[in-house]
Structure 1
Amino acid sequence: MSCADMTMGAFDALAAERSFVLVADHDPVGIRYMLQAERPGASGWEELESGPELWRARVSRTA
């Protein structure tokens, strides 16, 4: 299972107004774009740390 698949599964399991922190060793911009495209208006993304060794983002379900 890919990181993107795991992230989408975790997102789909979230209740409204809940979040999790995505931690990656590379820029997860592709996952951000996928959430925006496949779950428009339902997801939030807050960058917490942006490299160069560690990336962290808070992913939330808004609707």
Structure 2
Amino acid sequence: MSACNASETFIDVRRILPRMHRHPLIFAAFEALKQSEALVLVNDHEPWPLLYQFNVRHPGAFVWHYEEEGPDVWRFRITRAA
């Protein structure tokens, strides 16, 4: 995990092994965000399971925006909502 700037954190989840550690790390990073701060994530597959979990765990508390949509790399921003 690394910082992009003062209001966003960058995580390349492709580098996190074993894979079962990815979602807990992402949720911990999101929960540490202040309002309007963001996570920028890079993944090697469509992140539908993660999006589903965000909708269950944090309904209405985030904005999900794709910056790149495959087929080999998905880059997306998850911003903590007001």
Flag whether TM exceeds 0.5 (same fold): yes
1:41 aligns with 2:60: yes
Q: Hey, what does 2:34 align to over in structure 1? A: 15
Secondary structure in 1 matching 2:77: strand
CA deviation map 1:16-45 (0-9, x unaligned): 111021110111111111111100111110
Q: Higher relative contact order by CA 8 Å / sep ≥ 6: 1 or 2?
A: 1
Q: Hey, what does 1:58 align to over in structure 2? A: 77
Q: Quick one: distance in 2 between partners of 1:44 and 1:2?
A: 23
In the comparison of the two structures, how many residue pairs are matched? Answer: 63
Unaligned runs of 5+ in 2: 1-19
TM-score (norm 2): 0.71
Percent of pairs identical after alignment? 38
Q: Quick check: which has more Rg, 1 or 2?
A: 2
Unaligned runs of 5+ in 1: none
Q: Hey, what does 1:31 align to over in structure 2? A: 50
TM-score (norm 1): 0.91
Secondary structure in 1 matching 2:40: strand
Root-mean-square deviation (Å) = 1.1
